[in-house]
Structures are given as structure tokens and as C-alpha cells.
Amino acid sequence: MKTMFKNKLLNTILLASACGIAIAAIAPKANLARANDNPKVIEITAKKFEFSPSQITLKKGEPVILRLSSSDRVHGFMSKPLKIDTDIPADKTEDVSVTPDTAGDFTVICDHYCGTGHGNMKMKVTVVE
Ligand SMILES: [Cu+2]
């Protein structure tokens, strides 16, 4: 009987230390999440028939805001793998939140017909680990 009690006590202590370790392991991640509350803002300007900058690099799992604007007319901004599909109006800024979940090179295209060079209007998004 006494041994059983000892074992129970030991189990409780073991469980308590395991919880302590688990909390210690989770805590740094919680700090990281807080650091991401103010995601980086990247400004991208569209005009016939290009995006500027024409290439950006993002980090996998890191949220960013793409602040899109156009200096001439309405353009599209679309990438299926990055889960982005929006229009960039001519008269106001459009914010798009992106958290890339896969590393690699992705192409964003203008999917709103804007003239003769429309078919080549694209930019590259590189996502690194
Ligand atoms: Cu276009």
C-alpha cells in the first residue's frame, strides 16, 4: 500500500515536470507569434505592363502584407499556389495578407486584361525556408 502511494506521488511529480517542459517548449513559439502581429509591409506598384519590384523574396510561414497600388489603370494580381487573387484598383491601395506555406519560385500574373502587353505582365515571388 505504501509503495503504491509512493508510485502515485512519483507519477504526479513526473507529470508535473513533463508539463513544465511542455510549457517551456511552447513559450518561445508564443513569443514568435507575438512578433508577427505587425507583419512586414512590402509595397508593389503595377503599371502597363509590369510590376515593380519584379521580384520579391518571402520567408515560408512568415506573414507579410503586400501593399498593392497602380499608377495607371486597374490590374489583376493572382497566384494560385500563393492563394492570392485580387484586383489592384487605379485609385486606391489594396492590402493583401500572405503567409506562404511552401518554399519555391512562384509567378504572380496580372489576370485583369489591361492592354497589348498584358500576357507578359508578371512578377516572381521566391519563398525561402
Ligand atoms: Cu493585365
Q: What is the pTM of this model?
A: 0.71
Do residues 23 and 85 share a domain?
no
Ligand 1: centre distance to CA 109 (Å): 8
Ligand 1: centre distance to CA 77 (Å): 9
Ligand 1: centre distance to CA 72 (Å): 11
Do residues 62 and 84 share a domain?
yes
* C-alpha span between 1 and 3 (Å, rounded): 5
Band of pLDDT at residue 59, cut at 50, 70 and 90 = very high
Do residues 111 and 68 share a domain?
yes
Ligand 1: centre distance to CA 31 (Å): 41
Q: What is the CATH number of the domain that holds 122?
A: 2.60.40.420
Ligand 1: centre distance to CA 107 (Å): 14
Do residues 49 and 23 share a domain?
no
Do residues 45 and 17 share a domain?
no
Work out whether the CA dihedral 42, 58, 82, 120 comes out positive or negative: positive
Band of pLDDT at residue 48, cut at 50, 70 and 90 = very high
Ligand 1: centre distance to CA 83 (Å): 18
Q: What is the pLDDT of residues 1-46, one digit of tens each?
A: 455 545 554 444 444 444 444 444 444 444 444 555 789 999 999 9
Query: Residue 25's pLDDT is what?
Result: 46
Tell me the residue range of the domain where 83 lies. Answer: 40-128
Number of domains forming the structure of the chain: 2
Do residues 25 and 84 share a domain?
no
Ligand 1: centre distance to CA 115 (Å): 6
Ligand 1: centre distance to CA 104 (Å): 24
Ligand 1: centre distance to CA 110 (Å): 4
Q: What is the pLDDT of residues 73-121, one digit of tens each?
A: 999 999 999 999 999 999 999 999 999 999 999 999 999 999 999 999 9
Ligand 1: centre distance to CA 51 (Å): 10
Query: Residue 10's pLDDT is what?
Result: 44
Do residues 72 and 23 share a domain?
no
% of the chain residues with pLDDT over 70: 72
* C-alpha span between 7 and 1 (Å, rounded): 10
